Amino acid sequence: MESKSRRTVFFVSDGTGITAETLGHSLLAQFPDCEFRQVRAPFVDSLDKALDCARNIREASRRDGQRPLVFSTLVQADTIAALHETEAHFVDLFGTFIGPLELELGVKSTHTVGRFHGIAESEDYKQRIEAINFTLAHDDGISDKNLEDSNVILVGVSRSGKTPTSLYLAMQYGVKAANYPLIPEDFERNKLPGELQRYRSKLFGLTITPDRLSQIRQERRPNSKYASLENCAAELEAAKKMMQREGIPFLDSTARSIEEISAKILQEIRFGKPVY
Amino acid sequence: MESKSRRTVFFVSDGTGITAETLGHSLLAQFPDCEFRQVRAPFVDSLDKALDCARNIREASRRDGQRPLVFSTLVQADTIAALHETEAHFVDLFGTFIGPLELELGVKSTHTVGRFHGIAESEDYKQRIEAINFTLAHDDGISDKNLEDSNVILVGVSRSGKTPTSLYLAMQYGVKAANYPLIPEDFERNKLPGELQRYRSKLFGLTITPDRLSQIRQERRPNSKYASLENCAAELEAAKKMMQREGIPFLDSTARSIEEISAKILQEIRFGKPVY
């Protein structure tokens, strides 16, 4: 029964489908009470593939007894027409906006299929890959080498969210994000670890509630002192004091996704880029 | 002079701005001859912030002598109105599609600000973080532990693109992607390394042209045998033979972005999920 009441949503693209999926997810999130069955249809870059896709859409329509939703970033007229011949509710991301943009910019769009193709040669892309490699080589304080090349250095107690945030910053924004744990020894010495003192302007702190930290650490090392609520609270308190004393901006990661944390960090730090 | 001829593009959102940026970039990529100056404006979740943003838009308009472009995912009527009062070309992602979707679905949208807020509690999000941790723990063949939990295991010679692709699969799609290097010793023994034989159905290979591989390895270890064109060609040939013999599907990563490679891998492998 449950599957019958769900609509099927297709993300159709001549490329990877990431754009169609991203906007589709954002729009559907505005309808939290509806359940959707999601289908990716990337690389629909020929009429044959579009006709295949149209068949799948019609089949879903019959099966669900409801019109499917289609989020499309197709740019070729014949492939778009093939999908229009289904009865789906069609959200045509490119068709809707490209015409007005052409008028505004006073140039024709290239109607290029597969916008992500060729991206691998772009400077932006190379910067992202370089940032990922940098971030992996500077995860968890494993190396001080070339730390001066970092755009940001995340600090915080173990399991406060530094690693996934660093990787997201690198992958999404091409930001070279090192990260460094603050450990009990640092609090005893009452000093920032390693070379961090030299790069204080690049530091950004993550904190988290003791409850949540204890819960995360329990999964790693059940019933350890490391994971105990008391120890977590003490470490977090010491880290907070250190960050406040050193003038390091920090953010609570508890209820935030890595997307949110990263966007906040980007706002705080300018990275010497012209505009952001 | 150059900066004067560029238009400014604003990505305005009440959340992280990722949706606005993703669609904006895809649309602008259809105009490769135009240069744009890009400005992120995330977390515009109050009228005050929207008025601030509108001021920045007007300033850019004066400075450039051209109407800025605004890609917006704002959902609150008053913030949208504030931006509409600038003369920018306004691409209103939510306004354009939410109304028709409400009619189609027969329910009102929640008009929730900050769709990414609360995401950190969702199952999808937890799965993505878990996948990132898994992928990091299974990078470059460092561990066979829990390899049976992987959704895919990438194989290929050193520097063929396994690590960034694995991380992208984990971060974007919540796919647990291990990766394992194929090294000269494996070719001599003529056997897949480690435990891989047991998980052959999960294997996916990456290959690359000898030229490109040699170039990448030169950056790491200049003038080494490891980086020589001859050695790269020999390793790639041996790896290809091994993958063909073992029936492992593989893909050339040379001119492809990690987005493209990941989307292709997702198409090949079903991961036992209901629909993809």
- What CATH number did the domain enclosing B179 receive? 3.40.50
Contact A156, A205 (CB under 8 A): yes
- Reported as a single tens digit per residue, the pLDDT across A217-269 is 999 999 999 999 999 999 999 999 999 999 999 999 999 999 999 999 998 87
Residue A116 in this model has a pLDDT that exceeds 70: no
How many Å apart are CA B91 and CA A60, to the nearest integer? 31
How much is the mean pLDDT over chain B?
91
Share of chain A above pLDDT 90, in %: 82
Mean pLDDT of all residues in B248-256: 94
Decide if A8 is inside a domain.
Answer: yes
Decide if A111 is inside a domain.
Answer: no
Least confident piece of the model among A107-116, A118-127, A196-205, B29-38? A107-116
**Measured between CA atoms, how close is B15 to chain A, in angstroms?**
8
Decide if B14 is inside a domain.
Answer: yes
Report pLDDT for B1: 41
- Reported as a single tens digit per residue, the pLDDT across B73-131 is 999 999 999 999 999 999 999 889 999 999 999 999 887 665 555 667 788 899 999 99
| Chain A nearest-CA residue for B167 | A167
Q: Work out the burial of residue A187: count CB atoms within 10 Å of its CB; fewer than 13 is exposed, 13-18 middle, 19 or more buried.
A: middle
- Reported as a single tens digit per residue, the pLDDT across B4-40 is 468 999 999 999 999 999 999 999 988 988 999 999 9
Best CA proximity match to A257, nearest among A24, A25, A16: A25
Report pLDDT for B268: 84
Decide if B79 is inside a domain.
Answer: yes
Q: What is the DSSP letter of B66?
A: S
Instruction: State whether A264 and A166 are in the same domain.
Output: yes
How many Å apart are CA B12 and CA A253, to the nearest integer? 23
Counting every residue written for chain A, the total comes to 276
Decide if B110 is inside a domain.
Answer: no
How much is the mean pLDDT over chain A?
91
Share of chain B above pLDDT 90, in %: 82
Decide if B19 is inside a domain.
Answer: yes
- Interchain pair A17, B263: CB under 8 A: yes
B247 is an annotated ligand-binding site residue: no
Instruction: State whether B76 and B183 are in the same domain.
Output: no
Instruction: State whether A142 and A101 are in the same domain.
Output: no
Least confident piece of the model among A174-178, B140-144, B153-157? B140-144
Judging contacts by C-beta atoms under 8 Å, the chain B residues touching residue A15 are 260, 263
A253 is an annotated ligand-binding site residue: no
**Measured between CA atoms, how close is A120 to chain B, in angstroms?**
5
Report pLDDT for A5: 64
- Number of cross-chain residue pairs from A and B with Cβ atoms under 8 Å apart: 202
Instruction: State whether A142 and A200 are in the same domain.
Output: yes
Total domains, chain B: 2
- Interchain pair A89, B104: CB under 8 A: yes
Instruction: State whether A74 and A146 are in the same domain.
Output: no
Mean pLDDT of all residues in B219-248: 96
Model confidence band, residue B199 (pLDDT cutoffs 50, 70, 90): very high
Q: Where are the beta strands (DSSP E) in chain A?
A: 7-12, 36-41, 69-72, 89-92, 152-156, 177-181, 203-207, 250-252
- Interchain pair A112, B17: CB under 8 A: no
Residue A273 in this model has a pLDDT that exceeds 50: no
A176 is an annotated ligand-binding site residue: no
Q: Which of A57, A66, A97 to mutate to test the interface with B (most CBs of B within 10 A)?
A: A97
Instruction: State whether A128 and A81 are in the same domain.
Output: no
Instruction: State whether A135 and A249 are in the same domain.
Output: yes
Contact A178, A154 (CB under 8 A): yes
- Interchain pair B31, A275: CB under 8 A: no
Q: In which element (H, E) is residue B40 found?
A: strand B36-41
Instruction: State whether A151 and A241 are in the same domain.
Output: yes
* Beta carbons within 8 Å of B109's beta carbon, 6+ residues apart: A30, A31, B75, B98, B101, B102
| Chain A nearest-CA residue for B130 | A164
Instruction: State whether B204 and B135 are in the same domain.
Output: yes
Report pLDDT for A110: 84
Mean pLDDT of all residues in B142-164: 95
Decide if A34 is inside a domain.
Answer: yes
Which residues lie across from B92 on neighbouring strands?
A: B72
Report pLDDT for A221: 94
Mean pLDDT of all residues in A27-41: 92
Decide if A113 is inside a domain.
Answer: no
**Measured between CA atoms, how close is A228 to chain B, in angstroms?**
22
B160 is an annotated ligand-binding site residue: yes
Least confident piece of the model among A22-36, A53-67, A177-191? A22-36
Share of chain B above pLDDT 70, in %: 93
Single residue among B105, B139, B164 that ends a domain in this structure: B105
Mean pLDDT of all residues in A69-90: 95
Report pLDDT for A276: 31
Single residue among B42, B70, B105 that ends a domain in this structure: B105
Mean pLDDT of all residues in A135-148: 92
Phi, psi of A91 (to 5 degrees): -100, 105
Share of chain A above pLDDT 70, in %: 93
Instruction: State whether B159 and B264 are in the same domain.
Output: yes
Judging contacts by C-beta atoms under 8 Å, the chain B residues touching residue A269 are none
- Interchain pair A259, B116: CB under 8 A: yes
Nearest to A167 among B22, B111, B167 (CB): B167
Single residue among A79, A105, A131 that ends a domain in this structure: A105
Judging contacts by C-beta atoms under 8 Å, the chain A residues touching residue B109 are 30-31
- Reported as a single tens digit per residue, the pLDDT across A155-196 is 999 999 999 999 999 999 999 999 999 999 999 999 999 889
- Maximum C-alpha span of chain B: 70
Report pLDDT for A134: 96
Nearest to B257 among A73, A101, A125 (CB): A125
Domain that holds residue B53: 2-105
Judging contacts by C-beta atoms under 8 Å, the chain A residues touching residue B257 are 116, 119-120, 125
- Interchain pair B37, A100: CB under 8 A: no
Amino acid at B80: I
Instruction: State whether B85 and B137 are in the same domain.
Output: no
Instruction: State whether A136 and A69 are in the same domain.
Output: no
